[in-house]
Structure 1
Amino acid sequence: MASCALLLVACASGPARRVSEPSARIQQLTVRADGNWSTDLRIENFSSITMRFDALRLELEVEDHPAGTLQASPGVTVGPESADVVTVELAPTAAAKFAVARALADGRSIEYSLQGTMTATPNESRQREFEMERRSALSPAPGLPGVMR
């Protein structure tokens, strides 16, 4: 009888709940007619539980030129080990605008970095702030003028 009770208790606990550092990356950067950028940020939840992403504040650099701050309150809920995309508008600095325009004109890739914080609430828990840093690159999207992916 005691062994059956222990087995039931072990099964009731379920899988481990793991909260991992989330991340974000630029999925697409679109240069609008007014010179500002529309950035599609892919928010990645590496946790084994659902998380609601309440805020983000990420400093963007393009080819080592500060471009500006991507700041938003997406309020998006992302399932375990999943991702979602939010769009954030940015009025970039002149140096960053020029670097992206030059890369688009030359048809070449451009390096970028994101650094800052993401505020998220793990399912059934308290809100937490996560530090984030990412380096990657974007390339011109064939057939889509002014778009880098």
Structure 2
Amino acid sequence: MRFRPQYALMAVLALVLTACGNGPVKRVSEPAASIQQLSVGNDGNWEVELRLRNYSSMPMRFDSVSLAVKVGDEAAGTLSASPALSIGPESADVIKVRLQPSSSARIVVADALAGGRSLFYELEGSVSATPEEKKQRSFDIKSRNSLNQAPGLPGVLR
């Protein structure tokens, strides 16, 4: 019996195609949240553009957000929203949330804006999201980051 390389090649190709037949692996990863922009209104309240990031390999619907905000060392309040927003796999989107901050947090932000300094902030809380064709899950969020004054936009930090 003689060895025929074309049969061996066909067998290897058949195995490769069989292994690929199950489709892409769907994984659910913890989402992330960060402040993309903070705008201080004339009334002292803030409009926060909250960036929600889906690190999963499938779309997720973000149902609710509840994140305590801390600026500097001062508690500012809680960002609460029910966006019901679908975000594609490994993508991000932004929601706007109004916040009436504590007076001490207003002072910290005003000082950062007046001095042209970075504003360090923390977010801590939870995000409820529903992965495609699965049950809703709650994810704990804890992040630290900073914002800088947006050039030419008074009262805006990015």
Relative to the length of structure 2, the TM-score reads: 0.89
What is the number of residues matched between the two proteins? Answer: 148
Counterpart for residue 106 of structure 2: 97
Determine if the alignment matches structure 1 residue 78 to structure 2 residue 87. Answer: yes
Distance 1:138 1:5 in 2: 54
Q: CA deviation at 1:87?
A: 0.3
Counterpart for residue 68 of structure 1: 77
Distance 2:89 2:137 in 1: 16
Counterpart for residue 28 of structure 1: 37
Determine if the alignment matches structure 1 residue 59 to structure 2 residue 68. Answer: yes
Q: What SS does structure 2 have at the residue aligned with 1:117?
A: strand
Counterpart for residue 112 of structure 1: 121
Counterpart for residue 48 of structure 2: 39
CA RMSD of aligned residues (A): 1.6
Gaps of 5+ in 2: 1-11
Distance 2:79 2:114 in 1: 24
Give 1:10's match in structure 2, choosing from 19, 40, 43.
19
Gaps of 5+ in 1: none
Counterpart for residue 128 of structure 1: 137
Q: What SS does structure 2 have at the residue aligned with 1:68?
A: strand
Distance 1:65 1:146 in 2: 19
Relative to the length of structure 1, the TM-score reads: 0.94
